[in-house]
Structure 1
Amino acid sequence: MHINDQLLADCHVLGALEHASVLLHRNAAVGWFILVVDTPAVDWHQLDDAEHARVSAQIRALSRFVANEFEADKLNVATLGNQVAQMHIHIIARHKNDACWPRPVWGNLEESNNYSPTMIAALRDRLVADLGLVAGGMA
């Protein structure tokens, strides 16, 4: 399955989990990961029980990783899909001193420096070790 062009424009593809890709949002102001699920389903209620359980476990594991990696005060976990219908889940590390706290990141996050290639590689390596991420992803 192809990852939506808007998601590819906004993110770095870090790798793949079972039937899903893990992306890192380019804006480094907050730790913002996106899990893109390899499914024709658009909304949660369209997943069968086994797929729902798998995706939920992936969200939980990625949430733990993001919370620990970025020492988050709060995690935002959301599936919106208003602009990109492809099923994807945002997992965002929030801090009480981040650029738009306590407002949502959507529409309130100023441009920030991008992650360096070294930082991206380090995050990818930790995801490989912690979650079993594999190189590649849907494209």
Structure 2
Amino acid sequence: MFALDTRLQEDTWLIGDFPLCRLLLSNDSNYPWFILVPRREGITELFQLDDHDQQLMWGETTALARVLKDVFGADKMNVATLGNVVSQLHMHVIVRYQADVAWPGPVWGKHPAQPYTQVDVCAVRDRLASAFDAGFTFSEG
């Protein structure tokens, strides 16, 4: 049974679900920073997913990055799996701007996180609402 890593639960807001991946918003408003987590038990590496799930994850990642670039007007999209701290497979999809606080460097550990409020998270959901197709289910709240 799929369970989200405790650190991801503590450091993110739940946005909803694609057919394979849970979509989370990192609780750092310095960047529109999203995380996709395939809802599969015990997966730590992309190659551990079967071929179908690998293709589905890449498709969801690509679709998300395309939507985020358009909705947030990104200068650059950063997409990566690292998993050095959280071993559960997850894909970071981060909107970057030349004017953001860490540009052009990495976002990790450079600046203190600026937490979202519930109102801010609802505003992010609203921005995404018309951009996602019927294959996405938003979470309650």
Answer yes or no: same fold by TM over 0.5. yes
Report Cα offsets for 1:75-116 as digits up to 9, x if no partner: 11010011111111000011111111111011113332x333
Tell me which residue corresponds to 1:89: 91
- Tell me, which stretches of 5 or more residues in structure 1 are unaligned? none
**Aligned 1:59-74 pairs, distance under 5 A:** 59-74=61-76
Q: Work out the CA distance in 2 between the residues paired with 1:2 and 1:22.
A: 14
**Aligned 1:90-105 pairs, distance under 5 A:** 90-105=92-107
Shift of 1:123: 2.6
Residues 16, 136 of structure 1: 8 Å contact kept = yes
Tell me which residue corresponds to 2:137: 134
Paired amino acid for 2:102: C
SS of 2:137 mapped into structure 1: coil
Shift of 1:124: 2.2
Residues 35, 93 of structure 2: 8 Å contact kept = yes
Percent sequence identity over aligned pairs: 35
- Tell me, which stretches of 5 or more residues in structure 2 are unaligned? none
Residues 15, 124 of structure 1: 8 Å contact kept = no
Tell me which residue corresponds to 2:121: 120
**Aligned 1:1-139 pairs, distance under 5 A:** 1-39=2-40, 40-112=42-114, 114-131=115-132, 132=134, 133-136=136-139
Structure 2 length as normaliser, TM-score? 0.87
Q: Work out the CA distance in 2 between the residues paired with 1:66 and 1:42.
A: 25
Q: Work out the CA distance in 2 between the residues paired with 1:43 and 1:12.
A: 23
The one of the two structures with greater contact order (alpha-carbon pairs below 8 A, sep at least 6) is 1
